[in-house]
C-alpha cells in the first residue's frame, strides 16, 4: 500500500514544477520518517559535515568566526565551514528537525540526543593518517565518541528503545577529499607506500571497514556522500595556476567514487544494509558546467575574499560577496549553503524510496 502511494506520488511529481517537486519530496520524507519511527541522524566525516566539533579540538581547521555562518540562524559562526547549513542539516530539516548538533557542543542537552548528532571533524578522512596530520578526529575516534553517545542515549530512554532508535537511524558518512589533498598529494608517507591506484584501493578498503564497524554498532541505513570534483575547487586551480578544472584530480575522485559504489552494493548484498550513494561529484560538476541552470552566476571562485585561495583561517574577517546564493563555492574549498541544498534535494527522494518505503 505504501509502495503504491509512493509510486503514484512519484508519477504525479513528474508533472509538477521543480519547486513543488521539492516540497512534495520533503513532505513525503517527513511522513514516511514518522511512520517508520526514523527520528535519529548520526553523522561521520570531514568539514563537509562537521557542524563545530573542531571548535573544541587543538587544530587550526575551524570555522567558528565570521564570515562563516553569515546565513546561519542569527548569523552565528557555529564552526560549519560554510555560509549556513550543511547537507545533514537539510536532511534534518526535511524530517522536521533543527540543524544537526556537534557532539562536543556544550549546549547539547539530553533532550537533543534522540534526534542524533554529528561526530564529524573537519580535516578527517578514511585514512587515519589524514586526521593525524591535522590533529583532528579520525573515523575510529569519531566511532568511539558515538559509543559515548549510545551510553547517554541508553540512560535517557533505556537500552531497548535506544537500540530501536539506532537501528532505525540514518547514518551518514562524508569524507575522502582530505585523504588526497592534505595527505597523499602533499605528504610523502603514503606516496612511498602506494601508487595513486593502490592508495585508492587502500581508501576503499578503509571505507568498507568503517561501514562494517557502523553496522556492528547498529547501523541499518547508511548514506555515503561521494568525493566532489576536487580539481574544480578554486584553491586547487589557484595552486596549479590554471583557470579550468584539474582533470587529473577529478579522475582520482571519479575512480574512488566508483569504488564506494561497489562497496555499497557489497554491504547491501552481504550484510543487508540499506545504502544510498549521494553523487556530489556529478551534481557539483553539472552546476559548474551549467551554473545558470541552478541559479548560479559564479562557478569558478568562492564568495570569501578573492575567492581563489582563502579558506578557514585565511578567510577570517574577510569581505564576502553580496549574494552567496549566486555562488557554488563559499570559500576556495567548500560549497555554499545553496550548493549543499541542491545536492540534498537530489538525495531526499532516494532516502524516501530506498530507506522508508
- Which residues are annotated as catalytic? 47, 331, 334
- Measured in whole angstroms, the distance separating CA 272 from the mean position of its chain's CA atoms is 23
Distances 306 to 70, 213, 242 between C-alpha atoms, Å: 17, 42, 15
Number of CB atoms found within 10 A of residue 190's CB: 20
Number of CB atoms found within 10 A of residue 34's CB: 13
Amino acid at each position: 500500500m505504501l509502495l503504491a502511494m509512493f509510486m503514484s506520488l512519484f508519477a504525479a511529481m513528474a508533472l509538477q514544477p521543480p519547486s513543488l517537486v521539492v516540497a512534495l519530496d520533503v513532505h513525503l520524507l517527513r511522513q514516511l520518517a514518522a511512520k517508520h519511527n526514523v527520528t535519529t541522524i548520526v553523522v561521520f566525516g570531514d568539514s563537509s559535515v562537521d557542524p563545530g566539533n573542531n571548535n573544541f579540538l587543538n587544530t587550526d581547521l575551524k570555522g567558528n568566526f565570521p564570515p562563516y555562518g553569515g546565513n546561519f540562524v542569527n548569523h552565528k559562526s557555529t564552526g560549519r565551514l560554510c555560509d549556513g547549513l550543511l547537507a545533514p542539516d537539510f536532511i534534518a530539516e526535511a524530517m522536521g528537525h533543527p540543524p544537526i548538533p556537534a557532539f562536543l557542543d556544550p549546549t547539547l542537552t539530553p533532550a537533543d540526543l534522540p534526534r542524533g548528532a554529528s561526530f564529524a571533524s573537519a580535516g578527517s578522512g578514511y585514512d587515519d593518517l589524514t586526521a593525524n596530520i591535522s590533529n583532528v578526529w579520525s573515523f575510529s575516534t569519531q566511532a568511539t565518541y558515538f559509543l559515548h553517545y549510545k551510553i547517554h542515549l541508553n540512560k535517557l530512554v533505556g537500552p531497548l528503545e535506544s537500540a530501536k532508535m539506532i537501528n532505525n537511524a540514518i547514518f551518514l558518512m562524508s569524507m575522502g577529499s582530505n585523504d588526497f589533498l592534505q595527505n597523499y598529494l602533499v605528504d610523502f608517507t603514503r606516496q612511498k607506500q602506494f601508487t595513486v591506484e593502490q592508495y585508492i584501493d587502500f581508501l576503499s578498503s578503509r571505507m568498507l571497514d568503517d561501514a562494517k564497524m557502523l553496522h556492528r554498532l547498529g547501523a541499518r541505513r547508511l548514506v555515503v556522500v561521494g568525493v566532489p570534483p576536487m580539481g574544480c575547487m578554486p584553491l586547487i586551480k589557484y595552486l596549479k595556476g590554471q583557470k579550468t578544472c584539474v582533470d587529473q584530480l577529478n579522475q582520482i575522485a571519479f575512480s574512488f567514487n566508483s569504488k564506494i559504489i561497489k562497496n555499497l552494493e557489497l554491504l547491501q548484498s552481504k550484510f543487508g544494509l540499506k545504502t544510498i550513494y549521494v553523487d556530489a561529484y556529478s551534481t557539483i560538476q553539472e552546476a559548474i558546467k551549467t551554473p545558470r541552470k541552478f541559479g548560479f552566476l559564479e562557478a569558478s571562485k568562492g564568495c570569501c575574499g578573492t575567492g581563489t585561495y582563502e579558506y578557514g583561517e585565511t578567510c577570517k574577517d574577510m569581505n564576502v560577496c553580496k549574494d552567496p546564493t549566486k555562488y557554488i563555492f563559499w570559500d576556495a574549498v567548500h560549497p555554499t549553503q545553496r550548493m549543499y541544498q541542491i545536492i540534498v534535494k537530489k538525495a531526499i527522494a532516494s532516502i524516501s524510496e530506498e530507506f522508508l518505503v
